[in-house]
Structure 1
Amino acid sequence: MNDPLRRAVPPVALVLLAAAGTFALTMGARQSMGLFLGNLNTATGLGLASISLAFAFGQLWWGLTQPFAGMVADRIGAGRVLVVGVLLVALGTFLIPFMTTTLGLVIAIGVLAAGGAGMAGPSVLMAATTRLIPAEKRGMATGIVNAGGSFGQFLFAPIAGAISTAAGWAAALQSLAVLTLLALPAAWVLRGNSMQAAAAIGAAPAKKVGTREAVSRALADRSFRLLCAGFFVCGFHVAFIATHLPGVVAACGLPATVGAWSIGVIGLFNIIGSFAMGWAVGRWRMKSLLSLVYAARAVAVLVFVLSPKTEAVMLMFAAVIGLTYLSTVPPTAGLVAKFFGPQHMATLFGIVMLSHQLGGFLGAWLGGKAFDWTGSYDWMWYADILLAVAAALVHLPIREQELPPRAVAAA
C-alpha cells in the first residue's frame, strides 16, 4: 500500500540539491547586503546607525517569520511556502536601491527580503530535508544543506563586489535579486507536509499532537530553553560580522575589496565547517560539539583583537570564523529532531531560529550604535568574546538523551 508513496519520494541527492541550493541563493543574497552598507549611507545620507536599524530589523523579522512559516509548512507543505519566500527575497532585494528613507529601507531589507528569506530559510528547509531523508542520513544531510548557505555566501560576495565595481552597487543588488529566482524549481522537489512525508518514507504513524501542545512541551523543557539561549549568541555573532565586517575593514584602513573577500572566505570555510559538523554529529554528543564551536569563536576573536590588522590577518580571521560560522546549525537542528521528532520540526526549529535572530537584531543594531558612540568596533568584539564563553558553558547542562515518550511528538 505504501509503494506508490515510496516511489513519490525524490531521490536523496535531489532533495539535498533542492534544499542546499535554495539556502545558497537566499543566504547568499542576504549575507552579501552588508557590502552595500557604505554605498547606502553615501546615497541616502541617513547615517550608519539608521541604516543599521534596517539591517537589524531584518535580522529580527527573519527570525519572527520562521516559526509561522514552519507552522504553515507543517500543515500545507513546504513547496508553497518556499515559492512565496523566494519571490519576496527577490522583490525586496530589487527595491533596495530605490529606498531613500529609513522606513523604506526597513520595508525593503527588513520586511520583504528578510521575511522572504525566513520563509525559505532553515526551519522550513531543514524540516523538509529531515522528513524526506532516512534518520541515519540526517546528520550529514543537515550539514550539506547548511553548507549550501555557506556556498551561496562564498559565491555571491565576490560576484556582488565585481558587479558593483563594473556597473554600480544598485545594479549589483538587482542582479542578486534576479539570481535568487533560480531557487523556485526547488519548491516542487520539497513539496509536501510532515504527515505526507512521513508516510512517503515509510515512517511509523505519529500520534496526532497539536501545534500548541507541541510548542508548550518544547518551551517547558529546560534543554530546549538552553539550546535557544546558545543560539541567541550565535545570531549575535553572525549578524554583527555579516553586517559590519566590511565596516571593520574600512575602519582598519584596508581596501574595500578585502571586505568582499573576507565575507567570501567566511562562506568558503563554513562549507568545510558544515560538512565536518554534519559528519561529527553522528559520532559525538551534539551539545559537546556546540560548546566546542563557541569556545573556538571566543579564542578566534580574542586573537584577532590582539593582532595587527593587516590584509593577511583579516583573511585568516575570516577563515577561522568561517569554520564555526554556521556549523552550529546541524547539531542544533539535530537536537530539536532528537528531542521532539519530525512531526513539528519546522515549527520548533523556527522557534530556535527566532531566538537566533533576536540575537541577530542586537548584533546588527548595536554594531552601528557602538561605532557611532565610540568611533570603533572594539566594544562589540569584547561582547563577542564574553557571549561566546557564556554560550560554550550554557550547552553543557543540556540532556541530550531522548525525552520520555509522553513528552515526545515522535514520528
Structure 2
Amino acid sequence: MVFNFSHYKWLLIGSAFILALSLGVRHGFGLFLAPMSLSFGWGREIFAFAIAFQNLIWGIAQPFSGALADRYGAGKVIAGGGFLYACGLVLMSTATSSSMLLMSAGVLVGIGLSGTTFSVILGVIGRALPIQSRSMGMGLASAAGSLGQFVMLPGTLELIQQFGWQSALIILAGLVALILPLVGMLKDRPLVRTADTQTAGQALQECMAHPGFILLSAGFFVCGFQVVFIGIHLPSYIIDQHLDVGTGTAALALIGLFNIFGTYTAGIFGARYSKPRLLTMLYALRAIVIACFIAVPVTKLSVYCFSIAIGFLWLSTVPLTNGTIASVFGVRNLSMLGGIVYFFHQVGAFFGGWLGGLVYDRTGSYDLVWYISIVLSVIATVLHWPITESPVERRPRAGEVC
C-alpha cells in the first residue's frame, strides 16, 4: 500500500507539531516534582495528586471536546485548548499552595490537554484520510508528535537548571501558545449532516452496547495507569536508586525517542494485521519488560534498556485503539468515541499518578505499584484478545462516511 504523504502533508505536519508541543511539555511534568516539592516542603503525594487530577479532568473533558470537534470542526476546540493549557502553566508557576497547584496543573492544563491531544487530532486525521491509509496516517502523526517528548525533556531540564522552575513554566507556556497559529494548517471541517445522520446520542448508545468497545475502554485504563505512573515517578525512582537526575531525564527522553519508532511501527502493522491482536501482544510485552526491570539491580544500563523497551510500547496503543474504533464505528463521531475510551485511559492515569505518590509516602518504596502494573498488563492482555474489528451492522445513513 502506497501512502500519499504529499496530498496530506500540511494536515499531518500541523497535527504532528501540535501533538509535539502538547505532549512534549506534558511529558516533562515529572521533572517538576522534586523542585516544587522541595520549595514548599511538600511530600510527593501533593504534586502527584495534582498531576493525577489533571489526568482525571483531561479524561472527563475529553468526550465533550471530541463531540464539539466532531460537530463544529476541531479548529476552535484546539485553539481553546491551547489557550487554557498556556494559562494553566502560567498560573502553575505562581502556585504556592496545593489548591493553586490543583487549579492550575490540574484543572486548566487538564482541560487544555483534552483539546490538543490524540482524540481530537486523530479525529481530524480519521476524517481526512481514506480508510486504507487511516491507521498509517494516525501512526505517522503520533510518531512525529512523539518527537516532542524526546526534544522537550532535556530542554525542560535545562530550563529548570538555568532559570528555576517558575521561569521554566513561563517559557513552556509560551511554547504551548504556538499551538494557536498551527491550527490553521489542519483545515478540519465537520462532515456534512443530514436528517438521517447518526447523532452523537445514537453513537453513544451504539458503542455502549458493543462488548468490544467496553473491553477496549477497560484495556486503555491499564495504559493510562502505566504511562502516567512511569512518566511522573520514574525520575524520582531512579534518584532513589542512587543514580543522578540526568539519568532520570535521559530515561524519559529515551522513552520519547523510541516512542516515535513504536507508534509509527504500530501504524504500519495496524494497516496490515488485526489491531486488537497487536494490542494483546503489546500489553503482554509490557508485563515482561516491567517484570524484568524490577527483577534486576537498577543501573544506568538497566534504566536505559528499560526506557528503550517501554518507549517502543509507550503510545503504540493509541493509533491501534483509535484505528479499531474507526474500523468498527466509522469516523462520523470518532473524536467523541475516542474521547470516551480516553476517559478510561485517564481514570487509569489518575490512579497511576496518585497511587505512586501515596504508596511512596506511606512505604518509602514504589515496589507495590510496579507489581500492580504487571498484574494490570496481564489483565489487559486477556481483555483485548476477544475484540474484533468487524464494522457494526446498522442501516446505512445518508452522508455517513465509514
Place the TM-score, normalised by the shorter chain, in its bin.
over 0.9
Task: Give yes or no for the alignment of 1:303 onto 2:292.
Answer: yes
CA contact (8 A) 2:89 2:170 kept: yes
Would you say 1:179 and 2:181 are equivalent positions? no
Whether 2:42 is the aligned partner of 1:42: answer no
Match status 1:123 vs 2:119: yes
Which AA in structure 2 matches 1:310? T
Where does 1:134-153 land on structure 2 (aligned, <5 Å)? 134-153=130-149
Percent identity over the alignment is 37
Task: Give the Å deviation of 1:207.
Answer: 4.3
Indicate the residue corresponding to 1:4 in structure 2.
Answer: none
Aligned ranges 1:279-290 → 2 under 5 Å: 279-290=268-279
Query: Distance between the aligned counterparts of 1:280 and 1:217, measured in 2?
Result: 28
User: Bigger CA drift: 39-48 or 186-195?
Assistant: 186-195
AA in 2 matched with 1:175: I
Structure 1 position 248 matched with structure 2 position 237: yes
- Runs of 4+ residues over 2 Å off in structure 1: 189-194, 405-411
Offset of 1:340 from its aligned partner?
A: 0.8
Q: Which moved more, 1:291-300 or 1:146-155?
A: 146-155
Q: 2 CA distance for matches of 1:399 and 1:168? A: 50
Counterpart in the other structure of 2:203? 214
Match of 1:59 in 2: 55
Cα offsets for 1:293-345 (capped at 9, x unmatched)? 00110000000011111111111111110000000001100010011111000
Residue 201 (structure 1) aligns with: none
- Summarize deviations over 1:190-235 as a string: whole Å, max 9, x none: 2434315x9xxxxxx8941111111011011000000001001000
Mapped contact 1:57–1:361 kept (Cα < 8 A)? yes
> Residues 347-405 of structure 1: CA distance to partner in whole angstroms, max 9, x if unpaired?
10000000100000000000001101110100111001000011011001112222213
Corresponding residue SS for 2:177: helix
1:387 equivalenced with 2:394 (yes/no): no
Gaps of 5+ in 2: 1-5
For structure 1, which runs of at least 5 residues remain unmatched after alignment?
Answer: 1-9, 199-204
Q: Give me the TM-score of the superposition, normalised by structure 1.
A: 0.93
Alignment: residue pair count: 395
Counterpart residue type for residue 173 of structure 2? A
After TM superposition, the structure 1 = structure 2 runs for residues 69-148 of structure 1, keeping only pairs within 5 Å, are 69-148=65-144
**One-letter amino acid of the counterpart of residue 301, structure 2:** A
- 2:218 corresponds in structure 1 to 229
3-state secondary structure, aligned to 1:238? helix
> Is the CA contact (8 Å cut-off) linking 1:73 and 1:124 kept in structure 2?
yes
State the TM-score, normalizing by the size of structure 2: 0.95
**Offset of residue 49 of structure 1:** 1.0
In 1, are the aligned partners of 2:10 and 2:186 still within 8 Å (CA)? Answer: no
Could you say what secondary structure the match of 1:172 adopts?
Answer: helix
Q: Map 1:358-373 to 2 at 5 A.
A: 358-373=347-362
1:347 aligned partner: 336
Flag the 1:186–1:134 CA change in 2: closer, same or farther, 3 A.
farther
AA aligned opposite 2:305:
M
Shift of 1:410: 4.8
Residue aligned with 1:71, SS: helix
- Counterpart residue identity of residue 56, structure 1: A
In structure 2, C-alpha distance between the alignment counterparts of 1:11 and 1:175, rounded to whole Å = 34
